[in-house]
Amino acid sequence: MTAATAADHGAAVLAPAERLTGVRIDPELLAAAEYQVGEVPQEPAEEWESVTVDITDAHGVRTYVRVRRDQL
């Protein structure tokens, strides 16, 4: 893959996020961003009560959803 092709691919991947959030994603924004990650084990836990999705967008708006096992 050439550098131009890689840049086109990256732009295509980020375009939906830019459109949804209204935030222009550029190298400076990505370099200054704070990233948090979690580890997902290969094998699921034998017993679990719920799954939580907690996302904060670039505007500071938080989306928090908790799904109980019985809701799935």
Instruction: Decide if 12 contacts 23 (C-beta within 8 A).
Output: no
The pTM score is 0.38
Q: Which two tokens stand for residue 59?
A: 């505007």
* Enclosing domain of residue 22: 3-71
Helix and strand numbers, DSSP H then E, in the chain:
2, 2
Instruction: Decide if 66 contacts 52 (C-beta within 8 A).
Output: yes
Span 4-62, pLDDT tens digits: 566 678 788 888 888 888 888 888 888 898 888 888 777 776 788 888 888 888 788 88
Domain count, the chain: 1
DSSP secondary structure code for residue 22 in this structure? -
